[in-house]
Chain A
Amino acid sequence: AQSVTQLGSHVSVSEGALVLLRCNYSSSVPPYLFWYVQYPNQGLQLLLKYTTGATLVKGINGFEAEFKKSETSFHLTKPSAHMSDAAEYFCAVSAAGYSTLTFGKGTMLLVSP
């Protein structure tokens, strides 16, 4: 069985500040890990994914995440927040592929000028 915990349902940052969204997972098998973003009234867009190999993963829009097996974490970061980053972010885990994703409850990122 797999599960995902996202710490903080809401995170507020100022424009230009560091963005850090936390994700911890539980998986009985080597996991595949994902971060998705959802804008209001939209579907989900893939930001980045970890499957195997390099533990630091770079995604779109300047986001990156680091897979830390010892900490069972996959935190999402961006050095400098932009107003357009305001959205809801979901961490997800899968053992079988894209077709069966287990999502965290989501973190709403608020960016203030």
Chain B
Amino acid sequence: KAGVTQTPRYLIKTRGQQVTLSCSPISGHRSVSWYQQTPGQGLQFLFEYFSETQRNKGNFPGRFSGRQFSNSRSEMNVSTLELGDSALYLCASSLNGGMNTEAFFGQGTRLTVV
């Protein structure tokens, strides 16, 4: 069965622009979480969506937002890009986000802000 698909794999954007990243979870999975990975801060939790509702949120500014569609696909948006937003953005899907199911990670979208 297909894994978690993130598109695009690579992006280059200019400061001040906005960007939208997409994550298609494994079929049947309803929980999608987003993480930001940078050399300095490591892996940090952004937010989690379950059945189209944001269930948990990390400590990121409001420029970072997301949504989930009825087919469980999720998008995250970053507005007014800053150089510090350059990172690998990973999404993970699981059946319900609980301990009884494993989270599977996509390969990530590498965003470079210039």
Number of interface residues of B (CB under 8 A): 26
- B contact residues around A102 at 8 Å (CB): 45
- B contact residues around A45 at 8 Å (CB): 105
B98 lies within 8 A of A97 (CB): yes
* A45 nearest CB neighbor, chain B only: B105
- Does A90 count as interface, using CB distance less than 8 angstroms? yes
Q: Is the interface of A mostly helix, strand, loop or mixed?
A: loop
A42 lies within 8 A of B33 (CB): no
Q: Is the interface of B mostly helix, strand, loop or mixed?
A: strand
B42 lies within 8 A of A99 (CB): no
B55 lies within 8 A of A99 (CB): yes
- A contact residues around B90 at 8 Å (CB): 43-44
* A105 nearest CB neighbor, chain B only: B42
B105 lies within 8 A of A44 (CB): yes
Number of interface residues of A (CB under 8 A): 22
| CA distance in complex: A104, B43 (Å) | 8
A90 and B107 in contact, given A97-B99, A98-B92, A99-B48 (Cβ under 8 angstroms)? no
- Does A100 count as interface, using CB distance less than 8 angstroms? yes
- Does B108 count as interface, using CB distance less than 8 angstroms? yes
- A contact residues around B107 at 8 Å (CB): 41-43
| CA distance in complex: A50, B58 (Å) | 23
A100 and B33 in contact, given A43-B108, A44-B90 (Cβ under 8 angstroms)? yes
- Does A67 count as interface, using CB distance less than 8 angstroms? no
The 8 lowest CB-CB distance pairs between A and B, nearest first, are A99-B97, A43-B105, A98-B103, A103-B43, A99-B48, A44-B105, A105-B42, A97-B98
Chain B positions near chain A (C-beta within 8 angstroms) = 4, 31, 33, 35, 42-45, 48, 50, 55-56, 58, 90, 92, 94, 97-99, 101-103, 105-108
